[in-house]
Amino acid sequence: KNQVEQSPQSLIILEGKNCTLQCNYTVSPFSNLRWYKQDTGRGPVSLTIMTFSENTKSNGRYTATLDADTKQSSLHITASQLSDSASYICVVSAWGGATNKLIFGTGTLLAVQP
């Protein structure tokens, strides 16, 4: 069964600190993995996308890593800001087939406090 699991479920950090979110997946055959940021009341917005051959991808203060062998990914946020408070969702796509549906994790709810 295709599944995406994330940890922790929620996280509170102080402004300026770093944090790392984890994602494990069992989606097969794997196509790509994305991290989305979802602000309250908004739709998910893509932060990074990685294919099988990519190990790391950065987008500003966000750095995602991918280990396709262990089927794990992480999202590292550097020098957190209050605006980073949101839900971070790991999303995996399976290769092939006529559709391009995405398989979502339940997300990590991050709260950055002053």
Partner 1 sequence: EAGVTQFPSHSVIEKGQTVTLRCDPISGHDNLYWYRRVMGKEIKFLLHFVKESKQDESGMPNNRFLAERTGGTYSTLKVQPAELEDSGVYFCASSQARNPYEQYFGPGTRLTVT
User: Which residues in this chain contact partner 1 in the complex, by CB under 8 A?
Assistant: 4, 31-32, 41-46, 49, 89, 93, 97-107
Nearer to partner 1, 41 or 114 (CB): 41
Question: Which lies closer to partner 1 via its Cβ, residue 53 or residue 99?
Answer: 99
Q: In whole angstroms, how close is the CB of 77 to partner 1 at the nearest point? A: 21
Is residue 49 exposed (0-12), middle (13-18) or buried (19+ Cβ within 10 Å)?
A: middle
Least distance between partner 1 and beta carbon 45 (Å): 7
Instruction: Give the Cα separation of 27 and 19 in Å (integer).
Output: 25
Which residue, 80 or 92, is less far from partner 1 as judged by CB? 92
Q: Which H/E stretch holds residue 23?
A: strand 19-25
For residue 34, the minimal CB distance to partner 1 (Å) is 8
Query: Percent helix, strand and coil across the chain, each rounded to 5?
Result: 5, 60, 40
How far apart are CB 53 and partner 1 at their closest, in Å? 15
State which residue, 80 or 86, has the beta carbon closest to partner 1.
Answer: 86
The Cα 19–Cα 14 span in angstroms is: 10
